[in-house]
Amino acid sequence: MEEKKTVLIVEDEKSIADIIRINLEREGYASLTAYDGEAGLAMALEHNPDLILLDVMLPKLLGFDVCARLREKGSSVPVIILTAREEEEDKVRGLELGADDYITKPFSMRELMARVKANIRRTAMSQSGPAEGAMAAGGGLTINPENYQVCKHDKPVDLTQREYELLTFLASHPGKVYSRIDLMEQVWNYGYVGDDVRTVDVTVRRLREKIEDDPANPALILTRRGVGYYFAGQ
Ligand code: CA
């Protein structure tokens, strides 16, 4: 039997944590729960879950800080931020700190489970992807799909899974322009995207900061104004 995927819930409101846990278990996931930010960070590092659902307003350590520290420690676990506020600023901040996705409270369990599934499926796919030799992507960048290692001028670059997948998707179709909606469907696996396309912009910005010599004047991931993004040919 396939091993169950484990989701870590970091949420201080016990009633919300409970209902999420019940729904996850009904969908066949194992779950872990932490009720504050410090405990959440410790559990994430100790148990290496397959996905983290991370509330923003938490005692001891804010969700944003939990996410930032996980990324500092090199964790690439998919993180979905649960934000109580509609504010664009909060969503963007979470994404800039390395979250993969966010969902605004109150959310339906159906929507949350769809997001969990999309993010975990994405991870599973990337781990069983085709193994090929390292590919030179230009600008001193190399991508090695065998070990998911990206190097810039021979120095390893730490990417989150989503950043890695966005990069490899664009780099494997150089010159082809993809709209943000295309990228949401192809890289994020979302059928319905609504206004979430901002996520693509923030992820592109994060990726540029990591792989471009001059992120303000990118040479690898380019913008086709009013259309979308594409990877420069060599
Ligand atoms: Ca809270």
Q: What is the reported pLDDT for 192?
A: 56
User: Ligand 1 centroid to 112 CA: how many Å?
Assistant: 16
User: Ligand 1 centroid to 117 CA: how many Å?
Assistant: 23
Mean pLDDT over all residues of the chain? 86
Least confident of 4-13, 51-60, 80-89: 80-89
pLDDT band at 129 (very low <50, low <70, confident <90, very high): very low
What is the tens place of the pLDDT at every residue in 85-127?
666 677 778 888 888 888 888 888 998 998 898 888 666 555 5
Residue type, 113: M
Mean pLDDT to the nearest integer, 212-216: 93
Specify the pTM.
Answer: 0.70
Q: What is the reported pLDDT for 125?
A: 54
Q: How far apart are CA 171 and CA 152, in angstroms?
A: 14
Beta strands in the chain (DSSP E): 6-10, 30-34, 51-55, 79-83, 101-104, 135-138, 141-144, 149-152, 155-157, 221-224, 228-231
User: Ligand 1 centroid to 80 CA: how many Å?
Assistant: 14
Q: What is the reported pLDDT for 75?
A: 87
Token couple for 206: 């994060």
User: Ligand 1 centroid to 17 CA: how many Å?
Assistant: 10
User: Ligand 1 centroid to 183 CA: how many Å?
Assistant: 31
Q: What is the reported pLDDT for 84?
A: 77
Q: How far apart are CA 136 and CA 143, in angstroms?
A: 6
pLDDT at 184 over 90: no
User: Ligand 1 centroid to 63 CA: how many Å?
Assistant: 9
What is the tens place of the pLDDT at every residue in 54-73?
999 999 999 999 999 999 99
pLDDT band at 128 (very low <50, low <70, confident <90, very high): very low
